[in-house]
A and B are shown apart, each in its own frame.
Chain A
Amino acid sequence: MLAVPALGALALLLPAARFLPTDTAVRRYGAAVTGITLLPALLAAAAFDHGDPRRMQLEFDRAWAPAIDLRFHLGVDGVSLPLVLLTALLTFLCLVYTLRHPPQGGSARLLIASVLVLEVGMLGTFVALDLLLFFVFFEVVLIPMYLVIALWGGAGRRAAAWKFILYTLLGSGLLLAGLLVVGTNAGTLDMTALAEAPGQGLTRTAQITAFALIGLGLAIKVPMWPLHTWLPDAHTEAPTIGSVLLAGVLLKMGTYGLVRIALPAAPEGAVVWAPWLGLMAVIGIVYGALACLAQRDLKRLIAYSSIGHMGFVLLGIATLTPVGVNAALLGNIAHGLITGLLFFLAGGVKDRYGTGELDSLGGGMLTKAPLLASFLTFASVASLGLPGLAGFWGEMLALLGAYRPAEALPRETFVTFMAVGALGAVLTAAYFLRLLAKITHGPVAEHRRRDALPGLTLAEYAAWVPLVALTLLVGLWPKLLLDLTTAPVTALLGGG
């Protein structure tokens, strides 16, 4: 599954004259390669033993650099399988969307090659079972994403791309230091071995240091307030597919790392830092919501809403209970689907209206472009957490987890977090409804009366409908995901 996009990217190095001469051909090739990648992912889901999701399945283990104990050890379990499917699906949908709506700015070859390398990195992060292998794949995504933002982005793309890569690389450096503290003290780099013996070999101080370093490194990626400042610029300036992949997948890599590595390897460190993590998480929820209320640009609003949603995910992780962490993982998937859809829609709006400024968009989209407005309404209410759609479960279960955190944690603090988080959820509803009121309802603005907006293309339908369907599915039947994640989460938290 990893080999397909890797080989696909390498094939693009061949000179253009011989292989895929036109841009359209390259884009079709890209969609085909990612479609082919989706197949093994689906097959893996089918072959997965759903009766035993905590066991690492479909493993592949080969030594890569024995001198530093690095093994090419891959595998999926209940926690990683949904993320792998999400990644493969989103990348495929992105390249299908690109068939008709390519971003302007550079050669299509380089774009498709970057996305394919990005896919290798993203998939690799979720299936890696060796700490350093995880780190290598974590780093692989940096340069392709930098290229995507810097070459195909909006007006402020240079600065946004630099901010993204430098800030995230700093996080990676701290992450590496933390991973090595774990690896050298525990004597192994293998995640399965570390999960079986939580905290083995690490003194309390070492655990606290390791969790702090890994946590800080991943917190930049998640992003956790106050380390989030790279996100709004990166999301706003990136082209549509860049934003979708950034929000839909890259942010998940951070929270996945916390659940997969930091929790089992340094449980005492987790207990020490969890209240701080919860505090930053709820500040992020409220801050994200308040910032959204003040935004004037559609994409920036969605970017800040990501900060809020990831705050819920972090709150779930901070509770250190099965309920909380399950909520976090479900929130991950839900956020990936919904925010991915939101960014696609923002791209659609920008293509048609030529801008993302809310004031310039005016109102009355339901009159002018009813289908687009309906999709936007659906995505917004899903994002604000309407029951029956995927976002609701992530938020509600996170708050439920905060009501009853792990025994070692101060209950009063977490109940306060829960109250503040609930307030944040109300604010989330406020800004999304404000957004809808502003641009979809009401009369069409004067300067837009005579605009003729094209309808939805087949590529857009193809990209958006699966996301809508999955959001409904997960919202109505969360058991689908909770069954997969419950057992491994209990194991990772040391429940045995």
Chain B
Amino acid sequence: MIQSIDYAAIAPPLIVAVAAIGLLLADAFGASARLLGAASCGAVGAALAAVAALAAGDRRATFCLPEGLRAGGPPSCSYVTDDFTLIFQGVVLLAALVVVLLSLEEITAPGARLPAGEFHFLLLAAIAGALTLVAARDLVLLVVALETLSLPVFALVALRRRDGVATEAALKLFLVSVTSTAVMLLGVSLVYGVTGAMHLDRVAPALERVPGELEPVAALGVVLVLAGFAFKVAAVPFHFWAPDVYQGAPLPVAAFLSVVSKAAAFAGLAIVVALGLPAYAHVWGPVLAVLAAVTMTAGNLVALRQRSAIRLLAWSSIAQSGYMLAPLAVGDRRLPEAVAATVAYVAIYAVMNIGAFAVVIGFRRRAGAPPAGPAPAWDSLDDYRGLARRHPGTAAAMAFFLICLAGLPPGVMGLFAKIVVFRATVAGGVTWLAVVMAVNTVIGLYYYLAWAARLFAAPAGRVGPMPRTPALRAAIAAAAAGALVLSAAPQLVLQAASATM
């Protein structure tokens, strides 16, 4: 009764996990921060190569139930490498690579230095958790992976020593996360109690056959399971941690939370609702619809009031979560199309958001900026005035990312993302949500365009030059290139997304 392990299938998270431990040991033996950074990039790159190799091959599955335990059911596998998994692993790794590039300088910045070995270990551990989450097809592995993704991030947020704001942010994140995990575990246990199965392909048929008196229990379990994921994607009302944590954490960690963590959580949510809970679509469908509508509206409305760049990005991320949740609100009407729409939006959002964060991080390190350390100051939106005079390329890239986030041409990529989500919601019969999203797009345009317009306005004071380190330039350039390519040829993402599920 021993499960066989297909090492090729689990190669990406395995490579990253081994590298994490290796880096921690290397740091204990005195390796320099540069070497650790390079090794970290290398590990992520190697994992990416593994994902590419897996994409060329067949669907693989591992950690399956051995013969004796199947009890006449399907060979339920906990870790599956299909198109859905691979596209998400690709997105997670590419975004993580950009985060690692952005953090290289953060670690060695004067003022409040971050311990390099611990930082890379924690980051890689979180990445390994994200990679496992998107491949999990079993409730236990989902929870374990979600925790593996969350726990290192608490430490990452608090890693800057003697920084009160960071510690406060980490504590907020920790408390909300632990509470939502507890709620989610309660939900998982209720579902297990009703169905007797943990593997999603066994949970689904079992939920269809739930006896009448246990239906409320099952419905409650379903809703509670959603709570854990809703926290991770910062959906209202589980979003309160996001602005403070983005502001208190080191900025690359905020970028990680906003893009990688969110993408993995959406993958988990899609897996659970589409594979495990379609029988209760009449329960989670309306819940997700209301969640999506409230999230996008609250996120956009509060973002209008923000004066600090990072808080604006935090609230805008919350609003974008709402857009990504919207297709899943269709319930079981044309669910595969809806999941494809969410996947496409997540992939496109990852590119544009990581680009915006890259520019904000670079701007934070400009000459003449308040130094990092205890009681740091945050860049306000007005500090960005006139950035185009000094750095026309960076300003143009930032304006492009912002217009993509708003969803207007020339940010055609963002427009396609919105079209795909609209299409899924209309096709699934939740047209009212599409109308809410239309109104929200208008609200969002206001603050995105106002920020983009500031970049090109006359500068208020002297704008110090941004650092010209290769890592930062590579990060911004990669994001911009990705954005341009996807704007011209959106079918690259859309085709891949619709091939999933």
Complex formed: what's the CA distance from A209 to B432 in Å? 11
A139 engages B409 (CB within 8 Å): yes
B408 engages A143 (CB within 8 Å): yes
Assuming A64-B491, A174-B438, A177-B431, is B419 touching A135 (CB within 8 A)? Answer: yes
Nearest chain A CB to B269's CB is how many angstroms away? 22
A67 engages B441 (CB within 8 Å): no
Nearest chain B CB to A33's CB is how many angstroms away? 18
A132, closest chain B residue (CB) = B419
Q: Which of B408, B490, B498 has the most CB of A within 10 A?
A: B408
Q: CB < 8 Å: which of B403, B445, B498 contacts A169?
A: B445
0 or 1 for each of B419-432: is its CB under 8 Å from A? (1 = yes): 11011001100010
Nearest chain A CB to B176's CB is how many angstroms away? 33
B494 engages A184 (CB within 8 Å): no
Assuming A136-B409, A139-B408, A174-B435, is B427 touching A166 (CB within 8 A)? Answer: no
Complex formed: what's the CA distance from A408 to B491 in Å? 44
Assuming A66-B495, A132-B419, is B426 touching A146 (CB within 8 A)? Answer: no
Q: Which of B416, B426, B445 has the most CB of A within 10 A?
A: B426
B449 engages A146 (CB within 8 Å): yes
A217, closest chain B residue (CB) = B438
Complex formed: what's the CA distance from A68 to B495 in Å? 9
Assuming A177-B426, A180-B422, is B409 touching A140 (CB within 8 A)? Answer: yes
Q: Is B412 an interface residue (CB 8 A)?
A: yes
A173 engages B437 (CB within 8 Å): yes
Complex formed: what's the CA distance from A150 to B435 in Å? 28
Complex formed: what's the CA distance from A184 to B424 in Å? 9
A180 engages B426 (CB within 8 Å): yes
Q: Is A149 an interface residue (CB 8 A)?
A: no
A180 engages B415 (CB within 8 Å): no
Describe A's contact surface by its main secondary structure.
helix
A183 engages B423 (CB within 8 Å): yes
Q: CB < 8 Å: which of B420, B435, B437, B441 contacts A68?
A: B420
Q: CB < 8 Å: which of A68, A121, A173 contacts B442?
A: A173
Number of A interface residues in the complex (CB < 8 A): 32
0 or 1 for each of A125-169: is its CB under 8 Å from B? (1 = yes): 000000010011001101100100010000000000010011001
Number of B interface residues in the complex (CB < 8 A): 34
Contacts of B453 in A (CB 8 A): 150
B423 engages A68 (CB within 8 Å): yes
Complex formed: what's the CA distance from A61 to B426 in Å? 26
Q: CB < 8 Å: which of A66, A68, A173, A213 contacts B439?
A: A173
Contacts of B438 in A (CB 8 A): 170, 172-174, 176-177
Contacts of B423 in A (CB 8 A): 68, 180, 183-184
B403, closest chain A residue (CB) = A143
Q: Is A330 an interface residue (CB 8 A)?
A: no
Nearest chain B CB to A334's CB is how many angstroms away? 30
A65 engages B491 (CB within 8 Å): yes
Complex formed: what's the CA distance from A136 to B431 in Å? 20
B415 engages A136 (CB within 8 Å): yes
9 tightest CB-CB pairs across the interface, nearest first?
Answer: A173-B438, A67-B494, A180-B426, A184-B427, A140-B409, A177-B434, A65-B491, A67-B498, A170-B442
Q: Could you name 8 residue pairs across A and B whose Cβ atoms are closer than 8 Å?
A: A68-B494, A136-B412, A165-B445, A166-B445, A176-B422, A177-B434, A180-B423, A209-B431
Known: A146-B449, A169-B408. 6 other contacts (CB 8 A): A67-B491, A67-B495, A67-B498, A143-B409, A165-B449, A173-B439
Q: Which chain A residues have a beta carbon within 8 Å of chain B's beta carbons?
A: 64-68, 117, 121, 132, 135-136, 139-140, 142-143, 146, 150, 162, 165-166, 169-170, 172-174, 176-177, 180-181, 183-184, 209, 213
